[in-house]
Amino acid sequence: MAGKSFVQITRDVSKALYTLRAETPEAMNGFSQLARGALRDGALPALHKELIALAIGVSSRCDACIGFNVKTLIGLGVARGQLMEARAICTYMGGGPTLMYAAEAVRAYEEFQEVGAKVPA
C-alpha cells in the first residue's frame, strides 16, 4: 500500500499517548471522561457520534483522528455506505482540501478492514 499507514499511525500515537497518561494522569483522565461522556449512546447513537467525530477529523486534516475514528467505527459495525455518506457530507462542507482527507478516511477503512481492525489502541 502506498503512502502512510493508518495502522502504524495509530500504533505510534498510542505509544505517545501512553507517555502522556503516565506523566499527566489528571489531564488525560479528564480528557478520557469527556470522550466517554460525549461518545456514549444517547439521543444520538454512538455510531452516529463517531461518524461526526470522523468528519471533524477529516476536516481538521488529522491523520491520527482518522485512524482512531475509523478503527472505532469498524468496531461499532459501520457499513461502508455509512462511512461514504459521512465522507461525502464532509467534502460538501469543506471543499477540495477536505476531499483529499476524505479519501484518506477511505484508505484507513480499507487498511483496518484488511488487518481485521486488531490494532492496539
pLDDT score, position 2: 62
Do 71 and 33 contact (CB within 8 A), yes or no? no
pLDDT score, position 119: 47
Which set of grid coordinates corresponds to residue 46?
Answer: 454512538
Q: What is the pLDDT of residues 79-94, one digit of tens each?
A: 999 999 999 999 999 8
Region 69-77 average pLDDT = 95
pLDDT score, position 68: 96
pLDDT at 120 over 50: no
Give the integer Cα–Cα distance in Å for 49 and 27: 23
pLDDT score, position 118: 54
Region 64-82 average pLDDT = 95
Residue with cell 483496518: 112
Q: In the chain, pLDDT over 70 holds for what percent of residues?
A: 94
**Which one-letter DSSP state was computed for residue 42?**
S
Q: What is the CATH number of domain 6-115?
A: 1.20.1290.10
Q: Where are the domains of the chain?
A: 6-115
